[in-house]
Amino acid sequence: MAEVIRMPKMSDTMVEGVIANWLKKEGDVIKSGDIIAEVETDKATMELENYEDGTLLYIGVKVGEAVPVDGIIAIVGTPGEDYSSLLADAPAAAVAAVEASPAPAVATTPAAPTVDLSSIPAKAVRMPKMSDTMVEGVIAKWLKQVGDVVKSGDIIAEVETDKATMELENYEDGTILYIGAKEGEGVIVDGIIMVVGEPGTDFQPLLQQVAAPVASVPAAPVAVATSAPVKEAPKVAESKAASSGIQADAKGGIIKASPLAKALAKEKNINLNWLQGTGDGGRITKSDVENYQPNAGGSTGNFISGEESFEDIPNSQMRKTIARRLSESKFSAPEFYLTMEINMDKAMEARVSMNEVLPVKISFNDMVIKAVALSLVKHPKVNSYWMEDRIRVNKHVHIGMAVAVEDGLLVPVIRFASEKSIAQISAEAKELGGKAKNKQLQPKDWEGNTFTVSNLGMFGIDQFTSIINSPESCILAVGGIKETVGVKNGQFYATNIMKLTLTCDHRVVDGATGAAFLLTLKQYLEDPIKMFI
């Protein structure tokens, strides 16, 4: 699916940028991290880094032309892809962004009338928008510290977005005077991260000046709903304490622990409440975690005997995005559900035969993905997007494969699945699943799905329903294979049944359309030879 590249805000006072030089041209294949252009801001000429993988389909700005911050400058996608709808939607979004951006300045400029900010030899560095759905980033690791001299182009931190952990590039030259977020803390898009300038500079007016705009950034109702809890005073205090190795105990006091002990406890799934620190002032050390005995001190598992207790776990960026997107889907799409039983006897026999001759081991999930891909070709309406003012019927099949990870759920994508052999699908599914669990997925791995398959059969779940992955119109929930008793001509026999449930957006897919898709899918799975003819 094509993605828009917009003009980033490269300095605190930048309102537009001029394309000084294009380093890539239409038709070039680019990847995340490539420098695609040089941009002249109000401060300097800087390199523009790309965050999307694909082919440069469209360049909307010529050398020497100016683009407002957040204005469209290019489109990246798959060769031959129709991106006209993105251009049609872009002007309104750009205009809205330009019109909205001066508002905070008007509201906050009078708040600090006594200070000329332009005379302060320091600049605020803000959190950039690193993905299309990002509303805030968590500082995973600082690579620089207060007092370090940095220059434009230096990598200063690693930031956890809702999609991946990415490197944060600096655009200001000078000395780091202030760091506003500790490791593990979240910063909303355009929020202040640090201040760079001349040593000894009084940078407090910058912090006061940016406070109001930063707080008002999440203007979208959904973003406010998911971000607001992070702004509550108790939550912020808790986050800061945790990042410095201090956690609240069950009685409302604090637990002091070294960062290494904290990391090791998390790795071993040990609650710091269970430990008695031997360090200075009762601080928990690495050896305290290593020497912990599960039943010491009367603790039983995760519970404290005879004592009311709880543990607050801050939401990760992934969990926040899952909540936001699924809420959008659940409360906006009129869903209905269709369930069908599949006789898997022949599929089980076919899998045994395939695994005897193919170079990779075929799973039942691989067979489902292959059958779904072929069924979508025959029922393209199920392979569609709801786009508010139109329905986009996709002419390609990209299957999203829901994968459970520690922090939530990721959906890596098997592209052009209808054109791939089952061995190719199996190999790709294993590779993507491994990347997802190791947090190695890149934007190209999770973008563009036209249909999603969610399988809980391996957990012993017979049947369930899934929430549609917007803007898709359907999602398939796959249950486990269960041996049961069948009846034929009055005779009982043992057979194997799998239940599939299709969740449909009624705005796009009617009951008969969904049923026809499931019937085709049933035919492929109950007689797998049809998938290979």
Query: Residues with Cβ < 8 Å from 167, sequence gap 6 or more?
Result: 33, 155, 157, 158, 159
Query: Active site residue: 42, 202, 510, 527, which one?
Result: 510
Candidates 190, 231, 10; CA nearest to 101 is: 190
CA distance 424 to 377: 18
| Cross-strand partners of 484 | 495
Query: Active site residue: 82, 202, 249, 506, which one?
Result: 506
- 202 catalytic per annotation: no
| CA 183 to chain CA centroid, nearest Å | 19
Candidates 78, 38, 60, 71; CA nearest to 444 is: 78
CA distance 153 to 273: 42
Distances (CA, A) of 109 to 113, 115, 193, 218: 7, 10, 20, 20
Q: Is 90 buried (19+), middle (13-18) or exposed (0-12) by CB count in 10 A? A: middle
- 510 catalytic per annotation: yes
Cβ atoms within 10 Å of 300's Cβ, excluding its own: 9
Query: Residues with Cβ < 8 Å from 152, sequence gap 6 or more?
Result: 44, 46, 170, 171, 172, 173
Judging by DSSP bridges, how do beta strands 66-68 and 246-248 pair with one another?
unpaired
CA distance 188 to 359: 47
CA distance 27 to 76: 10
| CA 109 to chain CA centroid, nearest Å | 35
Catalytic residue list: 506, 510
